[in-house]
Structure 1
Amino acid sequence: MAMLTVRNLPDEVHRALRVRAAQHGHSMESEVREILESAVSPQGRVKLGTLLADMGRQARLSDEEFAVFEQARDKAAARPVSFE
């Protein structure tokens, strides 16, 4: 895993992080990790399957038409692509 060093962190920010970590029952390191993860994770990300299902609803597909998609989906594990 990668490591990160933050230099010149103001004392008041350090204190606020320490207090916030204590309030959440975390170490400062854990609290900073959680803050960073939430800051960079996409908000409201739509997954492809959800998008396709919404498109199907808008097209007013029948239950039978939806069933075709379920049957056609490959249930096996994905295989790596070979370029040879």
Structure 2
Amino acid sequence: MPAVTIRNLSAETHRALRVRAAHHGRSTEAEIRDIIEAAVRPSERVKLGSLLASIGRDAEISDSDVEGLQKNRDKTPVAPMTFE
């Protein structure tokens, strides 16, 4: 598992981390892991598929609406892009 070293952390910040960890009943290292995890992977993150499904429900799009869109869709193969 990867490890990270944090240099030049102020004494005040380290003390605040220790207090916060004690308040949550865990080690300082576990508290830091939790803080980093929450910062980079927020639990309230909405995934694209869930968002699109929600929009479809809110717009009350039915299966027949989707079938109608599929029938009218341009099915011509797309030409690859060139950069020259």
> TM-score, normalised on structure 1?
0.62
State the partner residue of 1:39: 39
Q: What are the within-5 Å matches in structure 2 for residues 49-60 of structure 1? A: 49-60=49-60
Aligned twin of 1:9: 9
Moved >6 Å (runs of 4+): none
2:11 maps to a residue whose letter is D
Question: Which residue of structure 1 aligns with residue 27 of structure 2?
Answer: 27
- Higher-Rg structure is 2
Q: How many residues matched?
A: 65
Consecutive unaligned residues of structure 2, counting only runs of 5 or more, are 65-84
SS at match of 2:45: coil
Matched residue SS, 1:52: helix
Deviation at 1:44, TM superposition (A): 4.2
* Percentage of matched positions with identical amino acids: 59
**Structure 2 counterpart SS, 1:18:** helix
Q: Which runs of 5+ in 1 are unaligned?
A: 67-84
Q: Which letter does structure 2 place at the counterpart of 1:10? A: S
Task: Flag the 1:43–1:26 CA change in 2: closer, same or farther, 3 A.
Answer: closer
1:18 aligns to 2:18 (yes or no): yes
1:46-80 superposed Cα distances (whole Å, 9 cap, x missing partner): 22332232232244234xx39xxxxxxxxxxxxxx
